[in-house]
Structure 1
């Protein structure tokens, strides 16, 4: 199994690059699934998934930056952020990756 693969022969569409980051981690896949079923704070996700708060924080930030997660202040405590999944963005990234890997060009 190769350690690192670097593609330099062709341009990669931006959404494909983002999709590989978003879907290329088991932790991020579990976070998406968790937030889809249980919108809430990072601490709850970390506890539910059995990962460190740091791991939840770093991966939640990446998902938020990619537009997969939307953050909103908690109605109960404005200092607490609630994360929920933008299902349309997930579908968009999934489609971009699927189209890219199945395109015979």
Structure 2
């Protein structure tokens, strides 16, 4: 799996978690612009600590295993427990609710 595939997996998990890039940025300490580049495959590199922080923010785990490792029964069971994200779901925008947006706007005025 390369960085492009990790970014795509991350984007799907972020959408499934119903989080915006900004929410993940605030939780992980990684800038929203960097998250955007990661999701679109435009980020040339990303350190391990940052990658783990992003994955944690959307509920992903990073697992190291030998190259050429085949799927195990545990992999299949995990896939069955994980809800599939439809293509339509991946194309929808995740936005904060109006109440969250108004709270942020009000906070900036004060």
Shorter-chain TM range is 0.3 to 0.5
Q: Which has the higher helix share?
A: 2
With normalisation by structure 2, the TM-score equals 0.32
Q: Which has the higher strand share?
A: 1
Report 1 or 2 for greater relative contact order, CA contacts < 8 Å, sequence distance ≥ 6.
2
